[in-house]
Amino acid sequence: MAEPATHQPDAAPVRRRNGWFSWLILFLVGTAAVSLAAVYLPPQVKKLGLLAIGQGLAAGWIAARLASMFELSAASKAFGCGVVFLVILGGQLATAVESHRVYRLAEERALAAHPKRLAALRMLESVKLPEDARSKQTVADVRKTIGVRGTSFADYLQFRVSEVGIQSRRAAQAIWIVEILLGSLAGTWIFRRLAPSAQLEPSGPAAKLEE
């Protein structure tokens, strides 16, 4: 008498989890690589606004390409796009942090090469001024006179937009926020267009074997 067939556990949920985990890890690595490369591009390539969008599109393409490689498709488009948006946004922030670090080091080296400017800056910093807008503007004017830029993150953001004639720190911060949001949205858009759009399950030969 034939033995009853043993029930085989469904391996689809495990494979699905493994596929999404691998996709996420490689997507994070790819986004980190794109974010780091963006910092060290030639200055003439790093156009205001365009760099963030290009970076986002590159990361979004990587996410879609990896989704195709792992034969994954999104049952919940909102969830998949949300993950992509947040990862790309994190990459944009990482680019800004690393760019600020590079900017700060360059300013410190330039200051160290001019002892007179360094002495003037130390003298300025030793003066105790009130913490008001007028005093801050005075310090900024003196820094500009002696040819020394600030090295805070806000100073870096203001430096980025100074070439187009924008001197307001608030405007510089607003422009940066808009940039990283647009870059993240651009990456999410390209992912939504290129990634598979069927159910969230493997759709290749492995799926056919289970039918």
Count of beta carbons in the 10 Å neighbourhood of residue 120: 17
Digit-by-digit pLDDT tens for the chain (211 residues) are 445 545 445 545 555 556 788 999 999 999 999 999 999 999 888 888 899 999 999 999 999 999 888 877 655 667 888 999 999 999 999 999 999 999 989 877 876 666 666 566 566 555 665 565 665 655 565 556 555 567 789 889 988 898 888 888 899 999 999 999 999 999 999 999 988 764 334 444 434 434 4
pLDDT at residue number 133: 62
Assign 3-class secondary structure to 31-68: HHHHHHHHHCCCCCCCCCCHHHHHHHHHHHHHHHHHHH
DSSP character at residue 198: S
Q: How far apart are the first and last CA of the chain?
A: 27
The DSSP secondary-structure symbol of 6 reads P
Q: Residue 169: what pLDDT?
A: 84
| DSSP 8-state code for residue 210 | T
CB-neighbour burial class of residue 117 (10 A; exposed 0-12, middle 13-18, buried 19+)? middle
Q: Where are the domains of the chain?
A: 15-201
Could you give the residue ranges of the DSSP H alpha helices within the chain?
12-39, 50-69, 77-112, 115-126, 133-146, 153-162, 169-194, 205-209
Provide the pLDDT for residue 142.
58
Predicted confidence at residue 211, as pLDDT, reads 45
- DSSP letter at 195 equals S
pTM, to two decimals: 0.75
